[in-house]
Amino acid sequence: MSLLLKNGNVNCGIGEKSFIGDILIQDGKIHQVGKIDGSAADKVIDVTGKEVTPGFIDAHRHLDFNVFNNKEFGKIELAQGITAAIGGTCGLAPYPSCDNSRTSLYNFIEPCLGKAPENFKADSFISYRNQVQEIVQPLHLGFMVATGAVKTCVKGYESKSYTQKEMEAAQRLLVEGIENGAKAISCGIMYTPECYSTKQEFIDLLMPAAKYNVPLVSHIRGEGNSLITSVEEIISIGEACGIPVNISHLKAVGKKNWEKQIFKAIEKIEAARNRGLRVTADFYPYEGGSTTLLSLIPPSCAEEDVNQLIEKLSTKTGVEKLKTEIYKEHSDWDNMVLDIGWERIVISSVHTEESKRYQGLSVQYICQMENIAEPVEFIADLLVRENGKISIIVMSMCLEDIYTIAKLPYTTLISDSLYGSLEHPHPRLYGSFPKFLKEYAIEQKIVSFETAINKMTGMVADLYNIKDRGKLINGNWADIVIFDKNKISANASFTAPAQLSQGIEYAFSDGVCIWNNQKTVTKQYKANFI
């Protein structure tokens, strides 16, 4: 079966100008791009006036559990034009896991990844990968091996450094993941237990991975007052190990850092690039970020296990200590409460029905509504009631900084989608890619249309060594989206986030039409592991 897409505005995903042309697909692959006689194909679709681009690749989605839990997995993504995605990001992955810490790990990552399937177990990267490959779902998926999960498997949530024996075990788990197809190594240095690791410990851990040439994709230690030192830290780790570095969701958080710190961070990145290091970054097109409420707990109040923290916060002494520490500056930790204030911290998802009335509301508003004088008492009580399983949205960035990052020639687009709540998620889960296209490229022209497509396709494929996707060139798999760029739209907002994007008319995966007119059309299609 051959298919000809005729008379489209073809954008090959390599940053060059679009041209009016045709694409011939045979046996799931792109056979020819150019001017092609219609008689060469079994079927012809006239796409005159439509944009024809590679399927978008989202290299940062916390989808690791949702792919198992959601019978309609892929619908939210395909509505945005996403045909491939990568999980295991920010050091937060459900693999590898060990019997003695698996429950703690899955509880900790639940606000970001959602609830683990019942009796789920993935003791290694390959175990997880094999379970994913059994699922019939429409997206091509890849995964990173996560150093946070590795450390939790080896040590639990201890604050102590690896012993030599533990270090060797962690290195084996890391290498095992890479050798079995991990697209990158991810770390989340701001999260427990990785926040306890020193720069030298990261270097020691990563050194055996250097020969594989996969990138280190990092949620750095701090993105506010400590942004510059955190950028320096991850660059120096990559430089010491000889590993390419990609900084996840590059941003400068905190009002006093806006339109200042990002330029200093860029100077550090470009100095490293000028030294010959492969340093890149990615971003999402929203002023608000999303994370777990546990990230607001200062290290001086943290415990080695979430249950221990919850137990402490259920006591008057624990709450009083949190009151003292949360209003202090900490030299090695960004204090979001001081940086942006309770009015810009929004409860996104909770675990119990009792607390769902708080979803979508700021902590400050909730405290006024409930007549609570001290917000710390509210969040401590909420953490106890919800057993720590709370996602938040933090309105921590300014658009001018995001525009600056978007213009950089070495940045790619991501969504950083969290699946902890599908009732009231961050709107980036539903709208990142159309929002970037419409607002940043088409309307405001922050970047050109061709550059925007490149940042969602070809650049991502190059960064993660995806050799046969992301570009409309002969021999690549035919992952293609077709849309009218005047109709593309992200409908999701912070007040009404669970809204499908509009405008993607067709999505093809390996030459098979899997999305048409706002619905999945080939439900039994089983995509590949990238």
**pLDDT tens column, 447-498:** 999 999 999 999 999 999 999 999 999 999 999 999 999 999 999 998 889 9
User: CA geometry: angle at 324 spanning 322 and 326, to 5°?
Assistant: 60
Write down the pLDDT at residue 11. Answer: 98
In whole angstroms, what is the distance from residue 109 CA to residue 114 CA? 7
- pLDDT at residue 184 greater than cutoff 80: yes
Cβ(429)–Cβ(419) below 8 Å: yes
Q: Token digits for 149?
A: 């999960």
Average pLDDT over all residues of the chain: 94
Looking up residue 283, the CATH number of its domain turns out to be 3.20.20.140
Mean pLDDT of 313-334: 91
Collect contacts of 116-123 with beta carbons under 8 A, ≥24 apart.
Answer: 116/65, 117/65, 117/68, 117/69, 120/65, 120/68, 120/94, 121/97, 122/94, 122/95, 122/96, 122/97, 123/95, 123/96, 123/97, 123/98
- pLDDT at residue 523 greater than cutoff 70: no
In whole angstroms, what is the distance from residue 92 CA to residue 159 CA? 17
Instruction: Name the domain boundary from 370, 394, 418.
Output: 394
- Cα within 13 Å of Cα(100), Cβ side: 8
pLDDT tens for each residue of 280-315: 999 999 999 888 899 999 989 988 788 899 999 999
Based on the domain organization, do 263 and 185 belong to the same domain? yes
- pLDDT at residue 408 greater than cutoff 80: yes
pLDDT tens for each residue of 15-58: 999 999 999 999 999 999 999 987 878 999 999 999 999 999 99
Based on the domain organization, do 109 and 138 belong to the same domain? yes
In whole angstroms, what is the distance from residue 113 CA to residue 96 CA? 15
> Considering its fold, how many domains does the chain have in total?
3
Based on the domain organization, do 237 and 164 belong to the same domain? yes
Mean pLDDT of 258-277: 97
Write down the pLDDT at residue 84. Answer: 97
Based on the domain organization, do 51 and 113 belong to the same domain? no
Based on the domain organization, do 260 and 275 belong to the same domain? yes
Based on the domain organization, do 165 and 257 belong to the same domain? yes
Widest CA span in the chain: 79
Instruction: Give the position of tokens 């400050």.
Output: 364
Instruction: Name the domain boundary from 358, 375, 394.
Output: 394
Cβ(509)–Cβ(516) below 8 Å: no
Q: Report pTM.
A: 0.91
Write down the pLDDT at residue 304. Answer: 76
Cβ(82)–Cβ(57) below 8 Å: yes
Based on the domain organization, do 94 and 228 belong to the same domain? yes
Q: What is the 3-state composition of the chain as percent helix, strand, coil, each rounded to the nearest 5?
A: 40, 20, 45
- pLDDT tier for residue 341 given thresholds of 50, 70 and 90: very high
Q: Is 252 contained in some domain?
A: yes
Residues in the chain: 530
In whole angstroms, what is the distance from residue 222 CA to residue 298 CA? 12
Cβ(418)–Cβ(290) below 8 Å: yes
Based on the domain organization, do 480 and 340 belong to the same domain? no
Q: Token digits for 44?
A: 């012809």
In whole angstroms, what is the distance from residue 27 CA to residue 329 CA? 60
Instruction: Name the domain boundary from 337, 367, 394.
Output: 394
Cβ(334)–Cβ(220) below 8 Å: no
- pLDDT tier for residue 524 given thresholds of 50, 70 and 90: low
Containing H/E element for 379?
A: helix 375-385
In whole angstroms, what is the distance from residue 444 CA to residue 437 CA? 10
In whole angstroms, what is the distance from residue 490 CA to residue 500 CA? 7
Mean pLDDT of 333-350: 90
Q: Is 525 contained in some domain?
A: no
- Cα within 13 Å of Cα(339), Cβ side: 23
Cβ(433)–Cβ(501) below 8 Å: yes
Q: Parallel, antiparallel, or unpaired for β 216-219 and 245-247?
A: parallel
Q: Token digits for 26?
A: 């045979």
Write down the pLDDT at residue 331. Answer: 78
β partners of residue 279: 245
Based on the domain organization, do 334 and 217 belong to the same domain? no
Provide DSSP, 307-325. HHHHHHHTSHHHHHHHHHH
Q: Is 527 contained in some domain?
A: no
- pLDDT at residue 527 greater than cutoff 90: no
Based on the domain organization, do 171 and 205 belong to the same domain? yes
In whole angstroms, what is the distance from residue 114 CA to residue 64 CA? 9
- pLDDT tier for residue 252 given thresholds of 50, 70 and 90: very high
Q: Is 522 contained in some domain?
A: no
The torsion region of residue 289 among left (phi > 0), alpha (psi -120 to 50) and beta comes to beta
Based on the domain organization, do 133 and 270 belong to the same domain? yes
- pLDDT at residue 172 greater than cutoff 80: yes
- pLDDT tier for residue 525 given thresholds of 50, 70 and 90: low
Structural domain span for residue 364: 292-394
Mean pLDDT of 60-84: 96
Q: Is 423 contained in some domain?
A: yes
Write down the pLDDT at residue 330. Answer: 85
pLDDT tens for each residue of 73-120: 999 999 999 999 999 999 999 999 999 999 999 999 998 999 999 999
Q: Is 529 contained in some domain?
A: no
Write down the pLDDT at residue 334. Answer: 82
Q: Is 521 contained in some domain?
A: no
Q: Is 524 contained in some domain?
A: no
Based on the domain organization, do 409 and 384 belong to the same domain? no
Q: Token digits for 176?
A: 């095992």
Angle between helical axes of 375-385 and 316-326 (0-180°, round to 10): 130
Instruction: Give the position of tokens 């024996």.
Output: 165
The one-letter amino acid code at 524 reads Q
β partners of residue 43: 3
